[in-house]
Amino acid sequence: MIRLKSPYVTAFLCYTLVGAFGPACAQETQEPPTPEEIQAADSAPLFASHEVLQLTLEADFHTIRREDRSDEDSEERPAVMSWTNADGTVETQEIQVQTRGIFRLARRNCDFPPLRLNVKKGQVKGTLFEGQDKLKMVSPCKLGQDYWQQYVIAEYLVYRMFNLFGDASFRVRPIQVTFTDTSGEDDEFTRMGFLIEDDDALATRKGGWKIDWDSQYQFDPRRLDKRQAILVDVFQYMIGNTDWSGVQMHNVELIQVPEWNFHTIPYDFDFSGIIDARYANPAEELDLRSVRERQFRGLCPDDMNRSEEEYEAVYEEFRQKKGELYALWRNQEGLEEGRLNRTLDYLDDFYKILDDPRQIRVRMINQCRSLGGR
């Protein structure tokens, strides 16, 4: 059974992998957040700025890097986090850190696993981290070649790109973090990274709640907010990402906002063509040569009862945002010139398609997936 946190779930439709609609949902009532809770989530000070935050983490990273590599819930480890405020003052807080992820968690793929920072809300009131609970941290997963740092900067910018299209998106904060191993076995090192807003905080900001979806079932995408769903489809095509699904909720969060308004929020973009990580390969069933080759993964408009006018409205949003999207990359400190030029060329290819109705039809709409597909 699927546990959906929603007071409206009794009328909700979901269907199994074979495409047959059935009673796969169970009710679990959850009240919408209060106006005060929405305001608190929206005004969280951590995400009120895009200035680089100086962080120090002290923990037994020697053990974390070598033992906490299970894709099951790993052990939480004690850590001390210090940060420098805008006025130059330094604050310190005891927290817990925990490994997370799937691909980047595996030792064969990454030297340093991705982390989740678990902050005690009651102890950070009145600080930069007020209102925070669990934060995903993205940092280079290999500590050698510079291109690993470039991947992190690029993924941060992809989140920022999606932010330009509305607040139904994960907020991010760039950090420069120094990792200090308290065991004394590993050397201290400093890298650029970023923090990602907690998914429950995002849902609260939107006045709703997160739905924890079991990927063995398929969500009925006809329930999705049309504009947001089309936006995600086109955005994922623009960045060349095929490692996602708005049906099985793979690399997207599903939130519900009363009344019966469902949104998918994309995340985890390191397998996209715009980043072009060396370890990223397209899924075999897609028959693509590389992740740089775009394939439209949106569902067919006829299946979804979406009009050409609704798609054109979203295309126009992308045309209007072109200058801002390019400026994010051009103005990013630490981004190598070669990567910048390669990225802008990649975006140029997308906009050539978007400026040609025939190419939109051939390269995007005609490549859509049927409702029963992944």
- Edge-to-edge, what's the strand order for the sheet holding 261-266? 209-211, 252-257, 261-266
Are 116 and 73 in contact, with CB atoms under 8 Å apart?
A: no
Rounded CA-CA distance 66/114 in Å is 13
Rounded CA-CA distance 177/79 in Å is 14
pLDDT at 70: 67
- Structural domains for the chain: 39-200 (no CATH), 208-367 (1.10.1070)
Rounded CA-CA distance 337/330 in Å is 9
Token output for 320? 């209007």
**Of 48, 163, 179, 209, residue with least CA distance to 117:** 179
**Of 147, 206, 141, 142, residue with least CA distance to 171:** 206
Query: CA distances (Å), 8 to each of 24, 32, 35, 140, 208, in order?
Result: 15, 11, 20, 42, 12
**Residue-by-residue pLDDT tens, the chain, 374 positions:** 344 443 333 333 443 333 333 334 433 457 899 999 999 999 999 999 999 999 999 999 999 888 766 666 678 999 999 999 999 999 999 999 999 887 777 877 788 888 999 999 889 999 999 999 999 999 998 877 788 999 999 999 999 999 999 999 999 999 999 999 999 998 999 999 999 999 999 999 999 999 988 877 888 999 999 999 999 999 999 999 999 998 889 999 999 988 768 999 999 999 999 999 999 998 888 889 999 999 999 999 988 889 999 999 999 999 999 999 999 999 999 999 999 999 999 999 999 999 999 999 999 999 998 886 54
pLDDT at 71: 60
pTM assigned to the model: 0.91
Rounded CA-CA distance 214/205 in Å is 24
pLDDT at 31: 84
Q: What does the buried/exposed string (b/e) look like for 148-177 if buried means 16 or more CB atoms within 10 Å of the residue's CB?
A: bbbbbbbbbbbbbbbbbbeebbbbbbbbeb
pLDDT at 69: 67
pLDDT at 268: 95
Token output for 334? 């630490």
